[in-house]
Amino acid sequence: MLTGNQSQNKWVRPLVPLAIIVVASIVLLYIGGFIAAAQGATDDAALPLSRWGGVVLAAAAIIYGLYVGFADRPIWQIGTREVVYMAIGAALYGVLSWVTNAIFPLPSISLVSLRPAVVIPVFFGIAFGPVVGFFSGFVGNVLGDALTGWGVYPLWDVGNGLMGMIPGLIVGFKNRKQSLDVLTWVVAGIAVLASVLMLLNGGYEMSDFSGNTYTAGGLFWIPLVGGLLVVGARYLFARDVDTAAAVVWGALGVIVGIGFAAFGGIIQNGTSPAAAFFGEFVPAAGSNLINVVILLPILLTAWNAAQARSGR
């Protein structure tokens, strides 16, 4: 329970850290741009601040709102332990993303690929808190895209950060079963709705970065499989509430993070709503859902076993 002074301070306390985050994000994005250019990025890798300054500020506003909303939860402390895990998470996500980026491309109007490593920021957020999850996703995506030579895409970098941060909020809940069923069916409903819209607009044509044309209907199964896996995991781990909650919150993080990236392009890049939904959100969010639901329980099981062996 917050006292009067604490309630007032929660509005002020995050301002200095957020200012540091904004400056650090700008520096990291420029570094990523130069790395991408060195790797042979074909587009303007080092984008001007005017192109993505608003994205960083929007991310800061979201983080600020989440901090204020969860200010009474002990999930925002940053110490040596968290800094170490930030570095590990970002490095793992960046390098492993680089390995698979060009190997498993998916039909999309953007550079979307099947990326099993997406489970890393989700896991680090759940295991070590939302700040570690955000850093792992944001910096890891900058690094992975830069090493691949794709360039820097701040919307997607922030989206990947949110993908790690949202699941990390679960650390602030003592009773993780609370609202679990509601969240499960919300995620499943979004997945089913996406599949239905894909089928109803099956003839909608798009072109990927290679100029290949494909239709929306051919991808209807991706979000459907993701949604079914979320529901299945919820009841498969019915007796293991922590794992079930982690999977569902991980799925929510995917939807929020990829939604920010895909639909933010409508404002920043002038992408049409249909292209953002069919050509970016569905292939990226759907494939990420599948990866997270399958791989997250494996990582959590291994982590819990390691913790038990170490006596922590």
CA atoms within 13 A on the CB side of 19: 4
Separation between Cα atoms, residue 130 and residue 87, nearest integer Å: 14
Task: Tell me the backbone φ, ψ of residue 215, rounded to 5 degrees.
Answer: -110, 155
Provide the token pair at 197: 């819209």
Fill in the amino acid letter for 305: A
pLDDT tens digit sequence for 220-230:
898 999 999 99
The domain ranges of the chain are 4-172, 180-310
Q: So what's the pLDDT on residue 44?
A: 47
Q: Mind listing the pLDDT tens digit of every residue in the chain (312 residues)?
A: 444 455 558 888 888 888 888 888 878 887 877 777 776 655 544 455 566 777 888 888 999 999 888 888 888 888 899 999 999 999 999 999 999 987 878 888 887 888 999 999 999 999 999 999 999 999 999 999 888 887 788 899 999 999 999 999 987 777 767 678 889 999 999 999 999 999 999 888 887 777 778 887 888 898 999 999 999 999 899 899 989 999 999 999 999 999 999 999 888 888 899 989 999 999 999 999 999 999 999 999 999 998 888 766
Q: What is the DSSP string of 129-185?
A: -HHHHHHHHHHHHHHHHHHHT----HHHHHHHHHHHHHHHGGGG-S-TTTTHHHHHH
Exposure string for 269-307, b = 16+ CB within 10 A, e = fewer = eebeeebbbbbbbbbbbbbbbbbbbebbbebbeeeeeee
- CA 104/CA 87 separation, integer angstroms: 26
Nearest residue to 158 (alpha-carbon basis) of 178, 133, 134: 134
